[in-house]
A = this chain, B = another copy of it.
């Protein structure tokens, strides 16, 4: 079945996403679905306050990617970015372990001011998306801060402390969340109204679980077809610390089977990298899951949607 404009026939797709990998798949979905058919639910467990500003790394990566502004290689921030404010903060002895670009700073300044004025994060995100000309709807997973915390060999760290300041080095024993567990109401509505859920190739522990663990999300997903894209390719994470986390948290090697086990009971199907071993117990589709070009993103998105039409 083919949709009214192009691509497969799902009319209301909800994608769950963290940063880089998830954002690229979302960009592909945006290329093959009409804008009104796609809602993106983004992890905000990595959010933090830095330089007095509310930073939402995954929301920003998804926004910048869909706006065509994302840095093509580094996985965070903007293309053609400058770091003049950062240089001055560093010169003045301010906190310099997290690099913030100048354009990026403009986003954080506007967001922080709107939040301080009482606007909800979902409303601020919608405003930013409108200004940046983004078609699909982007929702933060929740309105209020809910931080992902990691119990590590070096004590309990928040996500940015662990990933950026400590470079993801301390072994992780447990991942948990602190803060109100209410999902953004629009997230539950979007899931209820959807006919397909796509879980992007993001880190299950720190990008997707924080969404799944919000009140009512798993129950809402139970009634829907859910397909995921494996973030593990050839036994390694395409980007980031996931492979080590699987070993530390699941006690097994990183593989599509480990991803399938992590999401057991939730998935109708798993898209895996061509050549990787198919997991038992769930339908899987071999595809090219490493998205180097924008065409790669659209091709993978089309594969995911086509696969979702044929899984049970």
Binding site for B on A (CB under 8 A): 51-53, 81-82, 84-89, 91-94, 101-107, 109-110, 112-113, 116, 127-128, 131-132
B82 and A110 form a contact (CB under 8 A): no
- In the complex, which of the residues A89, A105, A109 has the most CB atoms of chain B within 10 Å of its own CB atom? A109
Q: With a 10 A CB-CB cut-off, give which of A86, A112, A113 has the most chain B CB atoms.
A: A113
Closest to A81 in B: B84
Copies in the complex: 2
Question: In the complex, A119 Cα to B62 Cα: how many Å?
Answer: 37
Contacts of A87 in B (CB 8 A): 103, 106
Contact B113–A94 (Cβ < 8 Å): yes
Q: Which residues of B have CB within 8 Å of A106?
A: 84-89, 91-92, 94
CA distance A110 to B82 in the complex (A): 18
- Which of B89, B107, B112, B116 touches A88 (beta carbons < 8 Å)? B107
Q: Which residues of B contact A131 (CB under 8 A)?
A: 91-93
Complex: chain B residue closest to A109, CB-CB: B51
Complex CA gap A89/B127 in Å reads 12
A–B Cβ pairs within 8 angstroms, 9 of them: A52-B113, A84-B101, A84-B106, A85-B109, A88-B107, A88-B110, A89-B110, A102-B102, A105-B105
Given the complex, which residues of B lie within 8 Å of A132, measured CB to CB?
91-92
Which chain B residue has the least Cβ–Cβ distance from A113? B52
Partner of A116, one of B52, B101, B110: B52
Measured CA separation A181–B216 after assembly (Å): 55
* CB closest chain-B residue, reference A89: B106
Residues in B whose Cβ lies below 8 Å from that of A105: 85, 88, 102, 105
B103, A88: Cβ atoms closer than 8 Å: yes
Q: Tell me whether A94 and B82 are in contact (CB under 8 A).
A: no
A94 to B87, CA, bound (A): 24
Residues of B contacting A104 in the complex (Cβ-Cβ under 8 angstroms) = 88
